[in-house]
Structure 1
Amino acid sequence: MNKILLTISAGMWDGIQHRPHHFARRAALNNWTVLYVEPPATLISPLKNRTTIERWKYWREGLRKETESLYLLSLPPIFPFGNMNRTINRINQRIMAKTITKALQSFSNSKVTLYTFLPNTVDMLPYLNVEAVIYDCVDDHGSFSGFVDKKIVLEMEKDLMRQADICFATSHKLYSDRKAWNPNFYLIPNGTDHDFFAKTASITEEEIPADVADLSHPTIGFIGGISDWVDLSLVKQVADSRPDCNFIFIGPIATDISLLEALSNVHFIGPRRYEHLPYYLRKFDICWIPFKINELTKSVNPIKLYEYMSSGKPVISTPLPEVKHFEGLIEIAKDKQETIVSIDRILDSNINDVNREKRQKVGQDNSWDSRWQYAEHLIQSLQK
């Protein structure tokens, strides 16, 4: 019988590569047929971001084949405010379930396991015929800004976990806050494609992308989404204080960056394809995680930390709880003054050479391969 892993996440397949992407690829290489469901746009999404209209185009294409064992599916437009009103969410989930059920009919004689990363999918469960339900808690979803009612999102998450056969969490806080909701709950932190990022050191100067190649050193870089959890005020203070450094941001912009646009040493390059990221990392003298410390980020286990360490590059981060576990291998800096001290310490000493191998060992020990192997072992135990 064909094993289908129905994966529902918040990320477009060609967008920033998060945990769902890495797990889906590995599942597809390990005897699963993966149906990766991309997030729908709401009826008002194009008013804020016109690129969301692309999702409607993909929806009209129907089932798309990515590889022999991995398929993509976009969903029809849905009503807004589903994370603020449970009735709207139930309507939306029923609409989405209809499209998903139709797509699943393309796979005959199949046993479907739902692997969801989103609390609101709990209201889809009555409309899906699945053998098992897996929930992977990767964020404190109720703490995102925007059209979100924290109480309603937590209610949906609690309902989902009570119905799920097995649940995972990416951080210690997510696990501790939710462990009473399901007895089959496991901590599985994020990881890295270690070999992919470890090749950063072997990339030549000539291979560095042209859009950053001519920027003078020292360079301090960030890779990832630039959203409201990035502390742009801290970035401005540090960039103002270190005009000799160039600060490079690689990733899509989803927040107001006007505070930084006048600074000649801060460069927003935009999103770049995943396969090109090591070439940008090669340009960085220091990798940075300048996140705010708030309810959302206290639960974050940043993938970029493991990717940075796989590259061997020095890392500075604000004191996120999950990052503190690596203090000693990376620099922890809570404000402008501590960040500047950390920059100077890295640039003026041999810390890069001393800790490079240790950082890369952390990346090697936290590979996506090992993470998926453990998750799949737990999933398969459901069938025994």
Structure 2
Amino acid sequence: MMNATQKQQLIVFGEDWGAHPSSTQHLIRHLGDDYEVIWVNSIGLRRPRLTRHDLLRLCRKLMTRVGASAQRTSQQGAQDAAPCRLINPLVIPLFGSRWVRQLNAALLKRQLTPYIRKDSALILWSSLPSMADLVGRLGERGVVYYCGDDFRSLAGVDHGPIAAMESELAGKADKIFVASETLGNRFAAAKTEWLPHGVDYRLFSSPQPRPEDLPAEGPVAGFYGSVSEWFDVELMSHCARALPHWTFVVIGAVQTDVGPLRRLDNVRLLGPRPHHELPAYAQHWRASLLPFRRNGQIMACNPLKLREYMAAGASIVSTRFPAVESYSDLLRIADSAADFVDALKQIEACPFHASANRLRKAAAQESWSQRAQTVKHCLKQFAHSAAQLDAKCEQPNKAAHSSLI
């Protein structure tokens, strides 16, 4: 039985800590005071290729492999310091082979077992479908699957094997949290709960100075995040041409062809910025943008930046997808490029503070701290069930001991 002074252990399988501010990392920051968290960096979701990106990532993995058990800071430094033990696992990144998957499960068990207390009432939390084969091997008392993305539509993922592993993991999980209601439709309703993304409200609502590289003249419309195939380059270029007195700022790593944007004088591609610097931009541009294409991934997504935009206070314009429908009274939803342009014109004609207070008030009710309370309630139920099981196991032992006296 777990000592009353010890924390229950929680092993979390997620992306590389500090690589980007994921919903899982936000939640775990709020669980660290109540649980002994062991964070296992990503074992990947796709077959690696001989590209510069994949080779650099492999080198980083190998370099951090030594001494990983003691590591508590990310590659980005103290700002993203991990409130938990970090493990950089050694596995084979091939998911199409059942044999390799079983080997990976055995490798992971061997690497994680030294950190697991026998009395820990261990809970496994996986934000990745690829952990399906490890379930049941570590003596865990509960399994949580946190589905924050549509992995079956995610670009660059081996969709067939990942879909099979997700179905297997969902079947084994005791509890499933989903970031969007669309994602929840594929899992058993009895154990699935919608857990919308939250926001670091204090970070995004606290006043920040205007960044020096943000244009000071004329209205500015901005976007931050990954500039990938779901980012509607054609829509953005149409808006920039239709509104030449506006400046369109794009912050983030570019992973798709943005040639049409580079050719426009009123578009600024600033590249990535650390997460803690984003509020300064979002607070000082006139409109925050969600210019997404309609594809499977976007139809199932619940973008982190939506509530961050709300907390920052600038008016929001979005293309239409399910996650924004419930906020239609707070933002402008466009069904066409012309609608998008009209929405920006309307924003320009309104005082900034007309919508800022309403947006911030709504965002204040959706903090990560509040989301974490929902998770804590679930995990406490696991702990209660484990304690009951321990008590039942002890009763026969006590009876046997009494019969020998």
Q: Does TM-score exceed 0.5, indicating one fold?
A: yes
Partner SS state of residue 5, structure 1: strand
2:151/2:159 contact within 8 Å kept: no
> Among residues 108, 111, 116, which one is paired with 1:99 in the alignment?
111
Q: Kindly report which structure 2 residues correspond to 1:1-384, keeping only aligned pairs within 5 A, or say none.
A: 1-10=6-15, 12-29=16-33, 31-40=34-43, 44-45=48-49, 47-49=51-53, 50-52=55-57, 53-63=59-69, 64-66=71-73, 69-76=83-90, 78-80=92-94, 82=95, 84-102=96-114, 104=115, 110-150=120-160, 152-180=161-189, 183-199=190-206, 202-203=207-208, 207-210=209-212, 212-214=213-215, 216-350=217-351, 352-384=352-384
Deviation at 1:332, TM superposition (A): 0.3
Cα pair distance change 1:241/1:96, threshold 3 Å: farther
CA distance in 2: counterparts of 1:303 and 1:314, whole angstroms: 16
2:151/2:157 contact within 8 Å kept: no
Deviation at 1:159, TM superposition (A): 1.4
Partner SS state of residue 155, structure 2: coil
CA distance in 1: counterparts of 2:268 and 2:255, whole angstroms: 15
Deviation at 1:289, TM superposition (A): 0.7
CA distance in 2: counterparts of 1:90 and 1:227, whole angstroms: 33
1:192/1:366 contact within 8 Å kept: yes
Cα pair distance change 1:165/1:283, threshold 3 Å: same
In structure 1, the residue matched to 2:77 is none
2:283/2:313 contact within 8 Å kept: no
1:111/1:130 contact within 8 Å kept: yes
Cα pair distance change 1:98/1:250, threshold 3 Å: farther
CA distance in 1: counterparts of 2:267 and 2:341, whole angstroms: 16
Deviation at 1:379, TM superposition (A): 1.7
1:194/1:363 contact within 8 Å kept: yes
TM-score (norm 1): 0.88
CA distance in 2: counterparts of 1:136 and 1:186, whole angstroms: 10
- 1:224-248 deviations in whole A, cap 9, x for unaligned? 1222211122112222222222211
CA distance in 1: counterparts of 2:181 and 2:24, whole angstroms: 19
CA distance in 2: counterparts of 1:68 and 1:137, whole angstroms: 21
Alpha-carbon RMSD: 2.3
2:178/2:196 contact within 8 Å kept: yes
- Range that drifts further, 292-301 or 64-73: 64-73
Partner SS state of residue 240, structure 1: helix
- 1:282-319 deviations in whole A, cap 9, x for unaligned? 33111001111111111111110001001111001110
Partner SS state of residue 237, structure 2: helix
Cα pair distance change 1:89/1:345, threshold 3 Å: farther
Amino acid at match of 1:51: L
Deviation at 1:115, TM superposition (A): 0.8
Cα pair distance change 1:142/1:91, threshold 3 Å: farther
CA distance in 2: counterparts of 1:68 and 1:342, whole angstroms: 40
Cα pair distance change 1:65/1:340, threshold 3 Å: same
1:43/1:77 contact within 8 Å kept: no
Amino acid at match of 1:19: S
- 1:239-291 deviations in whole A, cap 9, x for unaligned? 22222222112222333333422223222222222221111223311100111
Amino acid at match of 2:152: G
Partner SS state of residue 248, structure 1: strand
Structure 1 runs, 4 residues or longer, greater than 6 Å off: none
- Range that drifts further, 224-233 or 50-59: 50-59
In terms of Rg, which structure is larger?
Answer: 2
CA distance in 2: counterparts of 1:95 and 1:6, whole angstroms: 16
| Structure 2 unmatched runs, 5+ | 1-5, 74-80, 385-405
1:16/1:225 contact within 8 Å kept: no
Deviation at 1:196, TM superposition (A): 1.3
| Structure 1 unmatched runs, 5+ | none
